Amino acid sequence: MRKTEIASLIEALFDAPPAVYSPADLELFRRFKALLNAGEIRAAEPDPSSPTGWHVNAWVKKGILLGFRMGSLVDMSVDHRKQPWFDKATYPVKQFDVADGVRIVPGGSSIRDGSFVARSVTCMPPMYINVGAYVDAGTMVDSHALVGSCAQIGERCHISAAAQIGGVLEPVGAMPVIIEDEVMVGGNCGVYEGTVVKKRAVLATGVFLNQSTPVFDVVKERVLRAENGQPLVIPEDAVVVPGSRAIAKGPGKDWGLSVAAPIIVKYRDEKTEGKVQLEDLLR
C-alpha cells in the first residue's frame, strides 16, 4: 500500500470514526505506525519554500491520534506487583535490537512505539521520547530530558540534562517543535509551542522559548517574535542566553519587577565550538 493511499484512508477514518474499529482499520494503523517507526513519514518535514523551512503533515498527526482512539487500555507491566504500567495497546514501548545501532544506556529510559530514533543516537537515563518524535543520527538525549510527541530533532544535536522539548500533537495543523541539525540545547532549557530552532544554534542553560516569548537579538538589533500565525524562529548559529527586561509601567515598574527575555548575545564562532563540541569518545 502506497503512502498516498494510507494518507487518504487515515484522513477518512479520522474524519468519520466508526462505532467499532474493524480488523482492516487496525491493520491500516499497523502499517501507518511501521512507517513512523522507520522514519518514512513525519509529523513535519523540511520545506525550503516555507517561511520557517518546514511544513506540517496534518494527516500524520491524525494517524497518531487515531492510535489513541483505537487502543484499549492494557496491562504493560514487566512486574505487575513491583511496578504496574497501563497504557493504550496501540502504543507499547518501542522495540530495539543491537543491530539498530541505538545506544540506550541502562537506567530507566523509555521510548514509545511510533517514534523514529536513528542509528548512533545516544539515550542517557532516564529520558523519554514520545510517539511521533523524530530523532536523527548522532544526537544525544541526556538524562531527565524529554522529546515530546511529534518533536523533530536533527542530526548531531545535544539535548542536555533536564531539557524539555515540547511536542505539539494537537491541533493537527500546528507546527511541532523543530530542533535542526547540530543544535546545542543546554540543561534545564524549555522549547515549546512549535518553536523552530535553526541549524547550529546554541541555547544556554535555562533558556525558555515559546510563542509568547520575544527574543532580543542585540547583535543584529532586532526583536524576534511569533507573529501572524507563524512560530518563533531562532536563527542559524544564534547563541541564546537567559535574560530579563524591566516592566516599564504600572505596579511592575513601581515594584522593580522584570520579565524573562532570552537574548541572542552572539553568533556561533570558533570559541563557541570549543565549548559545545561533544566528545566523540562518549559516543
Which residues are CB-neighbours of 33 under 8 A, at least 6 positions away?
63, 67, 90, 113, 114
Q: Tell me if 114 sits within 8 A of 96, measured CB to CB.
A: no
- Predicted local distance difference test score (pLDDT) of residue 274: 65
CB 127 within 8 A of CB 145: yes
Which residue stretches of the chain have pLDDT < 50? none
Contact, 126 vs 109, CB < 8 A?
Answer: yes
Whose cell is 543544535? That residue is 183
**Residue range 113-164, pLDDT digits in tens:** 999 999 999 999 999 999 999 999 999 999 999 999 999 999 999 999 999 9
Buried b (16+ CB within 10 A) or exposed e, 198-211: bbbbbbbeebbbbe
Distance of CA 274 to the CA centre of its chain: 26
- Round to whole Å and give the CA distance between 225 and 143: 30
| Domains with residue ranges and CATH for the chain | 3-72 (1.10.166.10)
pTM: 0.94
Residue 8's SS3 state is helix
pLDDT at 248: 93
- What is the per-residue pLDDT for 138? 97
